[in-house]
Amino acid sequence: MRIIQLLAGTGQGGADRVAIALGDGLRQRGHEAVFAVNPEFLKFQTAVAQAHPCWPIHRFRGLPWRELREFKRRATSFDVVMTHDSGGRHFSIWAKLSGLRPPVWFVRHCISGTTRFGGVQLHRLVTDHQIAVSDIIARGLLKSGFPQDRVTRIHGGIDLAPFRQPDPQRVNAVRQQLLAKLPPETVIVGMVARLHLGKDWRADKPDFKGYDVLFRALAQARFPWRVLALGPSRPVDHDAVRQIARHNGADPERIIFAGFVDEPSAHYAVMHINVLPSRNEGLGLAVIESMASGIPTIGSRGGGIVEIIQDNQSGLLFEEGNSEELRQQLEHLVADSELRMRLSQGGRKRAVKAFDASVMVTAFEELMKRKLGPRARATE
């Protein structure tokens, strides 16, 4: 099979990483995966260009006629185009309306806000299938009006091997670089999430990823802590996170910024606890990664996180936005070594069994066989 992965993002988001894992896995099984991407993507994901053919697309939005013509010409002999973000969906819709031959599949990583009228009808007209990376996303698509036979849930996944066995030298380097001066009793609380700074952003507004919830909980916590923040990479992002902390009563000087990290297994390895307090997460790669790393993990009941964490078995869940419940769970974990060990073991087992890239790639292969016919069996 010949597959095009269409990505308008910069290579830093969860959808990008799932798409890369899918492309790598399909290539290992004999398929060809081409990445049609924003040039910025390759600045952060240099390994993709070494492993796969890459087509730069400089403009995804509006009516990029020059890019559309070139894309249609190059895509003619491919079997399917898979899009993973809103920019890619916009581009593929125009490509399909102007004569793109291969079928288009939308891989949905976010909970859909598409209404039953308008957007859904256009998507049904020009796309052949919708793949949801979680059950909650699939339910949203069906509720919006997509036919059941054109919606498939395949849990998103990534290669978990680096998280199960991180490089000891890299772990030591991270510890020396970021944590060497801290007292040994300091609890390192991980927060792996980008910060969304919209035009109306304010430190006193609820944050989509839940930075405010985490800082409200830690402001009342009765143990010494530092937050190791992965994701916010610009000085303006760091300043915004500090403002959120200050507004919610937490000391902003206790935040350690690691920026965007392409392969963060060594950073997870130095955490004691990882938290994802998102308000409405499509799935939650940070939860999967920390569980695979054996790090006790706490997540909100916001969106697809509940499909990953089995409460009190592979992690802990708290009600979305409830900082007091999160504080209690943090203190419970810090005080109870037996609980930490049980969640570490249960989390790792759960992550590897259900969310490793190999599981996802197998499901995509089976879907391609069913939906695309004999061409999908050509590489068997």
CATH number of the domain enclosing 58: 3.40.50.2000
Is-contact 279 205, C-beta < 8 A?
Answer: no
Element (H, E) at 66: helix 65-75
Split at pLDDT 50, 70, 90, the class of 350 is very high
Q: Does the residue 193 lie in any domain?
A: yes
Instruction: Name residues whose C-beta falls within 8 Å of residue 380's C-beta, 6 or more positions apart in sequence.
Output: none
**Residue 55, token pair as written in the block:** 């087509």
Shared-domain flag, residues 215 and 314: yes
Shared-domain flag, residues 205 and 146: no
Q: Does the residue 377 lie in any domain?
A: no
Shared-domain flag, residues 335 and 202: yes
What pLDDT shows up at residue 377?
A: 44
Shared-domain flag, residues 254 and 323: yes
pLDDT at residue 379 greater than cutoff 50: no
Shared-domain flag, residues 127 and 190: no
Shared-domain flag, residues 349 and 368: no
The SS3 assignment for 331 reads helix
Q: Does the residue 378 lie in any domain?
A: no
Residue 79 Cα distances to 247, 359, 373, angstroms: 52, 22, 10
Q: Does the residue 9 lie in any domain?
A: yes
Its sign, for the CA torsion 235, 241, 244, 250, is negative
Compare 11 and 295 and report the one with higher pLDDT.
295
- The 8-class DSSP code of residue 320 comes to T
What pLDDT shows up at residue 123?
A: 79
User: Could you give the CA distance from residue 71 to residue 64 in angstroms, rounded to a whole number?
Assistant: 11
Is-contact 190 211, C-beta < 8 A?
Answer: no
Q: Does the residue 69 lie in any domain?
A: yes
Q: Does the residue 58 lie in any domain?
A: yes
pLDDT at residue 57 greater than cutoff 90: yes
Q: Does the residue 91 lie in any domain?
A: yes
- What is the overall mean pLDDT for the chain? 94
The SS3 assignment for 3 reads strand
Split at pLDDT 50, 70, 90, the class of 6 is very high
Q: Does the residue 380 lie in any domain?
A: no
> Considering the entire predicted model, what is its pTM?
0.92
Domain span at residue 77 reads 2-158+357-372
Split at pLDDT 50, 70, 90, the class of 115 is low
Split at pLDDT 50, 70, 90, the class of 373 is confident
Shared-domain flag, residues 114 and 172: no
What pLDDT shows up at residue 121?
A: 75
Shared-domain flag, residues 172 and 154: no
Give the chain's domain count. Answer: 2
Shared-domain flag, residues 81 and 154: yes
Name the phi and psi angles at 141, rounded to 5.
-65, -45
Shared-domain flag, residues 313 and 273: yes
What pLDDT shows up at residue 111?
A: 85
How many other CB atoms are found less than 10 A from the CB of residue 72?
A: 16
Tell me the helix, strand and coil percentages in the chain, rounded to 5. 50, 15, 35
Q: Which residue has 């288009």 as its token pair?
A: 104
Shared-domain flag, residues 60 and 166: no
Shared-domain flag, residues 321 and 365: no
